[in-house]
Amino acid sequence: MMHRHLNSALVGLKCTACGAHFSSDELINVCLNCGKVLFATYDLERVTSTLRKEDLPLRERTLWRYRELLPVATKEVSLGEGMTPTFRAERLGTKLGCSHLFIKEEGLNPTGTFKSRGLSVAVSRAKELGAQILAMPSAGNAGVALAAYGAKAGLETWVFMPNSAPEMNKLQCQAHGAHLVLVEGLIDAAGREAQKEGQKRGWFDVSTLKEPYRVEGKKTMGFEIAEQFSWRLPDVIIYPTGGGTGLIGMWKAFDELGRLGWIGNGRPRMVAVQSTGCAPIVKAFEEGASHAEPWPDADTIAPGLNVPAPFADYLILGVISDSGGMAVAVTDEEILSSIRDLARDEGIFACPEGAATVAGLRRLLAAGIISGSESILLLNTGSGFIYPGILKGIGTAGDSMTEE
């Protein structure tokens, strides 16, 4: 095959906290000044020299259609991620009293969750910059995506997972040939273990937002939303928030599209949904704080939401506040009944994290914070196939679950 240049307009990296600039030509994790999150920056003039938004429909139906705004210069490691459909949720919408309700179905990504996006881009870039061994802590789904894209790239991978991670995640990681290390405790404990081992052995750490490019993969959800909504963004986006990478990424995407002049000034209110069993962002939001305190004894049936101390807390809270959005927590019971609603009303077999957005919407409608006439987009971040055990909790027709 001919060598194809990807036309990336990447120019460098900029710290989200202290503003320091760094080269994007070498492997790097966080800001060397202050230890905070680095963002990729692009030459937007150059983007428009090879890409007009009118040309997008002719491009490949993966996230690589936005290659000018992605950090990979030579060759992508791709399994067909991105360009997931956005459905109109008419039946569920009618039930909830929403006339314009939509669901973006991320469960159709290659590894069954939107973690494919971040790892496709991060593994591509790490490989291109010469990394040989990649490691990360994961609640489950990110580890699977690292294992799969690592396999495709021919790189060695190490995944540190809580013992309590879903069985399917563990099996899948091993099937892809990753080294799986099970750790007592939650993702923060797994993170400490991964860092300790990695520093000794010189692995490249691909923990989310502790390297600059997973968020670049996840930001493509924002590009797709803009494209799928004909460049007029919905009024509200509801996102199940763990580490917050998707929320932060979509907001970055809207900023880039705004500066390209492809969308107007209007922005969606960004809503972070968490579980009442692990809601550090909700607590910080309610207290008007710009940082989140670690959540003690975190526990929820939604593994992706079980992140007691998100590294990029200040960025998540910044997006919520800049967008006029909010944060809301829902119970595991509400999540379970929302899995059932999505399955029965929309034919979508959602993961608990995705179902949490329905529960969050219900609460915000009841509180009058979202109106039924607004256009509302829910992100179903993954497939329910990953968590077969949860099915036992959702019951069957005519059972004793409470109806509203």
Ligand X SMILES: *Cc1c(COP(=O)(O)O)cnc(C)c1O
| Helix-helix angle 313-322:245-260, to 10 degrees | 50
The residue within the footprint of ligand X, chosen from 110, 137, 191, 246 (CB under 6 A), is 246
84 binds ligand X, rule: CB under 6 A: no
The answer to the question of residue 334 lying near ligand X (CB under 6 A) is no
Interaction of residue 242 with ligand X, rule CB under 6 A: yes
Torsion, Cα of 98, 104, 105, 111 (10° steps): -150
Quick note: the x/- pattern for ligand X over 118-157, rule CB under 6 A, is -----------------------xx---------------
The listed partner (ligand X, Zn ion, none) that binds 353, CB under 5 to 8 Å by sort, is: ligand X
- Residue 78 interacts with ligand X (CB under 6 A): yes or no: no
- Count of residues in contact with Zn ion, rule CB under 5 A: 8
Closer by beta carbon to Zn ion, 37 or else 278: 37
Q: What is the largest CA-CA distance in the chain?
A: 61
- Residue showing tokens 């580890």: 143
With CB under 5 A as the contact rule, the residue among 25, 27, 34, 94 that binds Zn ion is: 34
Residue 175 in the binding site for Zn ion (CB under 5 A): no
Give 189-216 as a 3 state SS string: HHHHHHHHHHHHHCCEECCCCCCCCHHH
Q: Which of 220, 245, 274, 357 binds ligand X (CB under 6 A)?
A: 245
Task: Tell me if 82 contacts ligand X by CB under 6 A.
Answer: no
Residue 34's binding partner out of ligand X, Zn ion, none, with CB under 5 to 8 Å set by partner kind: Zn ion
222: enclosing H helix or E strand: helix 214-228
Environment class of 134 (CB within 10 Å of its CB; exposed 0-12, middle 13-18, buried 19+): buried
Name the segment binding Zn ion (CB under 5 A); options: 34-42, 91-99, 143-151, 241-249. 34-42
Q: Per rule CB under 6 A, is residue 116 in the interface with ligand X?
A: no
Query: What is the Cα–Cα distance from 301 to 161, expressed in whole angstroms?
Result: 16
The three-state secondary structure class of 257 is helix
H/E stretch holding 126 reads: helix 115-128
Residue closer to ligand X, measured from CB, 113 or 300: 113
Least Å distance, CB 78 to ligand X, is: 19
Rounded CA separation 62/44 (Å): 21
Tokens of 289: 């704080």
- Residues in contact with ligand X by the rule CB under 6 A: 113, 115, 141-142, 208, 240-246, 304, 351, 353, 381-382
- Residues in contact with Zn ion by the rule CB under 5 A: 15, 17-18, 20, 31, 33-34, 36
